[in-house]
């Protein structure tokens, strides 16, 4: 929430912020120049229109003749057609810039997010990221494509109207010119306050949407806990804030609009009164008065638009800061330039230079603390893991079991010391080289929208259907597929929400198997699966993990008895290590964990019987 509540609206205009977004306009500079030319042409035509009106009144109506009317009508129609064509081209150009720039910003953000380290997602809310990619980029693109051009149109039109009025009759132009600063001051004063209220309304709308989302997603929990009344009170408070901000905005608009209309009407009345007298005294023609009246009525809307657009531009500066702030985040894990030159990066891999991997892993004098932490989780830790070994990591929830695996997988890097893969510091090779040889099954599996077949194939994109099916059978995921209406072509839904947690686990396990990795990580991968399915997976993994280095982050200690080495983690530190029998004989912390869990499982079996 802290990301969203900063008072960006209090900041003044800052050119460096705007300069940072200019590279995204460069591909569209020709289109922007065309849009600008068309817009200024349209403004010039808008300025000329009252002069056409003046000519028609003085030469046809007052003179009571139709001589030359055909030519006049043809020229007038031609100008109208020119303006219409210009508006069509202008609109198409603006839409092209808006859609293109919005796409480019979203693409830049998405690509950049792929390069960020594991730690960034560990501390950054998903809503913060989505807001920048979707909402902020849209506002920036819209402003650049439309609003900035509108500012130039309004300036050109207002200055052009002033020039036309002064050329026609300086004395009659003076009342209009004097009223304009009053309108400008009123607009600046009220627009800033209305804009502030509108920001509060947008924030309140977000809170209302969030409250609806929580209320719908947590409906069962609310009913089970009987907290409907409390939810109602909280929702009333949220909607009360929305109502207050909306009423305040409406009140400001109710005062502002009549004041502007009064000033505009006053200027028009002065023009008509004074101009009428001048027509009476034959000082000006009635066509000139008609043109002045059109100018007096039409000049105030561009001034209001100018003030609104400038206020909106200052507001969008905050969106630019947020998007560029995201794009300027540096990944904490970065390959060295010489490594990228040899092995490539995530988007341009040079696989021809990749060495094969055996799976020997060595922690050499490794110390580590998390980027947002102060205490060292590991201190001068040493461990050799021969290729093909199975390492189990156990401990209570929140003990820090994943730290060692995250280091081995290079999701984090050691604060001090080295981690060697096949005898070489893994920082001497690319991240993608290592990650391409990893198979990772998470405790909370994530599936992508699409079919079961597509989700398993993410393990190896060039795999055939037969290979996908074989991987599913290897871990009994075919039993899940058989229950689905369309088999392997069944849609799993967003995030896999059409499947149970256990079913998603089996699909993600098949995906990891298809990748045929040299290093396997199972992060409490059977914690959400029933006992019968777990036995099937254990039989499959006994074969699959042969000749592969594997890490088992275990919740059920009964699943890791055959591990080559068990690391016992407590309060973020490794307190014991050894094989299952050795650790039980020590009668230490592992013995206590195993005994307690054995008693709990025995009690559960008695209750189930």
What percentage of the chain reaches a pLDDT higher than 70?
91
Question: Between the CA atoms of 178, 182, 187 and 188, what dihedral angle is there, to the nearest 10 degrees?
Answer: 100
Q: Dihedral sign for Cα 501, 503, 507, 510, please.
A: positive
In whole angstroms, what is the distance from residue 303 CA to residue 177 CA? 12
Structural contact between residues 19 and 130, judged by C-beta atoms closer than 8 angstroms: no
CB 490, CB 452: distance < 8 Å? yes
pLDDT band at 25 (very low <50, low <70, confident <90, very high): very high
User: d(Cα 44, Cα 262) in Å, to the nearest integer?
Assistant: 27
Spatial separation of the C-alpha atoms in residues 315 and 146, rounded to whole Å: 15
Which burial class, exposed, middle or buried, applies to 87 when counting CB atoms under 10 A from its CB (0-12, 13-18, 19+)? middle
Check whether 28 has a pLDDT greater than 80. yes
Longest CA pairwise span in the chain (Å): 118
CB atoms under 10 Å from CB of 335, counted, come to 21
Structure-token pair, residue 378: 């590991």
Identify any residues that bridge with 426 across adjacent strands, giving them in sequence order: none
Query: What's the chain's average pLDDT?
Result: 85
> pLDDT over 90 for what percent of the chain?
37
* pLDDT for the residue numbered 526: 57
User: How much is the average pLDDT of 41-46?
Assistant: 93
Contact 308, 330 (CB under 8 A): no
Distance in angstroms (rounded) separating the CA atoms of residues 499 and 152: 55
Yes or no: say if 174 and 354 are a contact pair by the CB < 8 Å rule: no
Print the SS3 string covering 447-493: CCCCEHHHHHHCCCCCCCHHHHHHHHHHCCCHHHHHHCCCHHHCECC
Which residue(s) pair with 418 in the sheet?
A: 364
Residue 7: is its pLDDT beyond 60?
Answer: no
**pLDDT the model gives residue 77:** 95
| CA pair distance 20, 563, nearest whole angstrom | 54
Most confident of 394-398, 443-447, 561-565: 561-565
185 pLDDT exceeds 80? yes
Strand partners, 441: 522
The mean pLDDT of 326-339, rounded to a whole number, is 91
pTM of this structure: 0.76
Of the two residues 474 and 88, the one the predictor is more confident about is: 88
b/e burial code for range 202-240 (CB count within 10 A of at least 16 → b): eebebbeeebeeeeeeeeeebeeeeeeeebeeebeebee
Identify the pLDDT of residue 9.
Answer: 47
**The sheet that has 424-425: what strands, in order across it?**
378-385, 361-368, 416-421, 424-425
What is the rounded CA–CA span in Å between residue 147 and residue 142?
7
End-to-end CA distance of the chain: 48
Cα–Cα dist 5/573, whole Å: 37
Two tokens, residue 207:
């809170």
Q: Which residue has the higher pLDDT, 206 or 166?
A: 166
Which of the four pLDDT bands, split at 50, 70 and 90, describes residue 232?
confident
Query: What is d(CA 564, CA 580) in angstroms, rounded to the nearest whole number?
Result: 9
pLDDT at 2 over 60: no
- Judged against a pLDDT cut of 50, whether residue 1 lies above it is answered with no
Reported confidence tier of residue 532, pLDDT bands at 50, 70, 90: low
Is 142 within 8 Å of 98 (Cβ atoms)?
A: yes
Q: Which residues 6+ apart lie within 8 Å of 6 measured at CB?
A: 318
Between residues 7 and 134, the one the model is more confident about: 134
Q: Is 272 exposed, middle or buried (0-12, 13-18, 19+ CB in 10 A)?
A: middle
Return the H-helix or E-strand segment holding 61: none
Beta pairing class for 519-523 and 438-441:
parallel
More confident residue, 504 or 203: 504
Tokens (6 digits) for 385: 């893991």
3-class DSSP assignment, residue 550: strand
H/E/C letters for each residue in 342-375? HHECCCCECHHHCCCCCCCEEEEEEEECCCCCCC
Dist CA 546 CA 111 (whole Å)? 36
Higher pLDDT, 453 or 249: 453
Helix (H, G, I), strand (E, B) or coil at 419: strand
Instruction: Write down the pLDDT at residue 5.
Output: 43
Model confidence over 249-284: pLDDT tens digits? 888 888 887 888 888 888 888 889 999 999 999 889
Rounded to whole angstroms, the Cα distance separating 327 from 113 reads: 8
* Beta-strand pair 361-368/416-421: antiparallel
Q: What contacts 553, CB < 8 A, 6 or more positions away?
A: 392, 393, 401, 402, 405, 443, 521, 522, 523, 524
Rounded to an integer, the average pLDDT of 331-341 is: 92
pLDDT of residue 12: 57
Helix (H) or strand (E) holding 6: none
CA dist 288 → 162, 175, 245, 272, 274 (Å): 14, 15, 46, 11, 12
How far does Cα 227 stand from its chain's mean position?
33
Q: Which residue has the tokens 């990301």?
A: 3
- Does residue 394 carry a pLDDT above 80? yes
- For 514, the 3-state DSSP assignment is helix
Return d(Cα 396, Cα 590) in angstroms, integer. 10
Q: Are 412 and 119 in contact (CB under 8 A)?
A: yes
How many whole angstroms separate alpha carbon 575 and alpha carbon 567?
A: 8
């Amino acid at each position: 929430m802290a990301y969203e509540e900063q008072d960006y609206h209090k900041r003044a205009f800052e050119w460096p912020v705007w300069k940072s977004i200019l590279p995204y306009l460069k591909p569209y500079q020709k289109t922007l120049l065309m849009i600008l030319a068309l817009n200024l042409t349209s403004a010039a035509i808008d300025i000329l229109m009252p002069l056409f009106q003046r000519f028609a009144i003085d030469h046809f109506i007052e003179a009571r003749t139709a001589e030359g009317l055909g030519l006049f009508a043809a020229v007038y129609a031609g100008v109208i057609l020119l303006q219409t064509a210009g508006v069509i081209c202008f609109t198409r150009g603006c839409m092209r810039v808006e859609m293109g720039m919005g796409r480019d910003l979203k693409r830049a953000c998405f690509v950049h997010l792929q390069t960020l380290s594991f730690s960034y997602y560990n501390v950054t809310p998903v809503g913060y990221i989505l807001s920048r990619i979707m909402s902020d980029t849209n506002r920036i693109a819209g402003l650049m494509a439309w609003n900035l051009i509108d500012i130039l149109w309004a300036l050109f039109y207002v200055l052009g109207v002033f020039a036309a009025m002064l050329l026609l009759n300086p004395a009659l132009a003076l009342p209009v010119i004097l009223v304009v600063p009053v309108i400008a001051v009123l607009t600046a004063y009220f627009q800033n306050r209305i804009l502030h209220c509108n920001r509060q309304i947008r924030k309140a709308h977000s809170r209302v949407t969030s409250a609806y989302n929580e209320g719908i997603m947590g409906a069962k929990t609310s009913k089970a806990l009987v907290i409907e009344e409390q939810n109602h009170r909280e929702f009333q408070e949220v909607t009360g804030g929305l109502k207050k901000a909306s009423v305040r905005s409406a009140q400001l608009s109710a005062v502002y609009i009549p004041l502007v209309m009064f000033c505009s009407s006053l200027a028009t009345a002065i023009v008509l009164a004074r101009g009428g007298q001048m027509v009476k005294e034959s000082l000006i023609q009635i066509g000139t008065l008609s043109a002045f009246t059109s100018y007096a009525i039409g000049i105030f809307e561009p001034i209001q638009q100018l003030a609104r657009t400038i206020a909106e531009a200052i507001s969008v500066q905050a969106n630019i800061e947020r998007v560029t702030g995201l794009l300027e985040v540096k990944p904490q894990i970065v390959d060295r330039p010489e490594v990228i030159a040899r092995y490539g990066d995530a988007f341009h891999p040079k696989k021809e230079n990749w060495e094969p991997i055996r799976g020997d892993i060595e922690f050499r004098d490794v110390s580590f603390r998390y980027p947002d932490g102060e205490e060292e989780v590991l201190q001068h830790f040493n461990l050799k893991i021969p290729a093909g070994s199975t390492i189990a990591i156990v401990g209570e929830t929140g003990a820090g079991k994943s730290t060692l695996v995250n280091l081995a997988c290079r999701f984090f890097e050691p604060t001090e010391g080295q981690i060697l893969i096949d005898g070489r510091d893994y920082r001497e090779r690319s991240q993608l080289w290592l990650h391409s040889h990893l198979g990772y099954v998470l405790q909370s599996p994530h599936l992508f929208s699409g079919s079961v077949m597509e989700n398993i194939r993410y393990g190896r994109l060039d795999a055939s259907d037969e290979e996908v099916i074989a991987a599913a059978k290897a871990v009994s995921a075919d039993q899940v597929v058989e229950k689905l209406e369309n088999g392997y072509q069944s849609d799993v839904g967003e995030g896999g929400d059409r499947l149970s947690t256990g079913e998603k686990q089996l699909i993600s396990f098949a995906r990891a198997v298809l990748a045929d990795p040299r290093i396997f990580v199972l992060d409490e991968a059977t914690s959400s699966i029933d006992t019968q399915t777990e036995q099937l997976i254990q039989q499959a993994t006994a074969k699959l993990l042969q000749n592969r280095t594997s890490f088992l982050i275990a919740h059920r200690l009964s699943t890791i008895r055959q591990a080559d080495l068990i690391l016992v983690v407590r309060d973020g530190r490794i307190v014991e290590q050894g094989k299952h029998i050795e650790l039980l004989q020590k009668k230490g912390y592992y013995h206590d964990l195993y005994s307690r869990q054995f008693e709990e499982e025995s009690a559960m079996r008695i209750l189930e019987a």
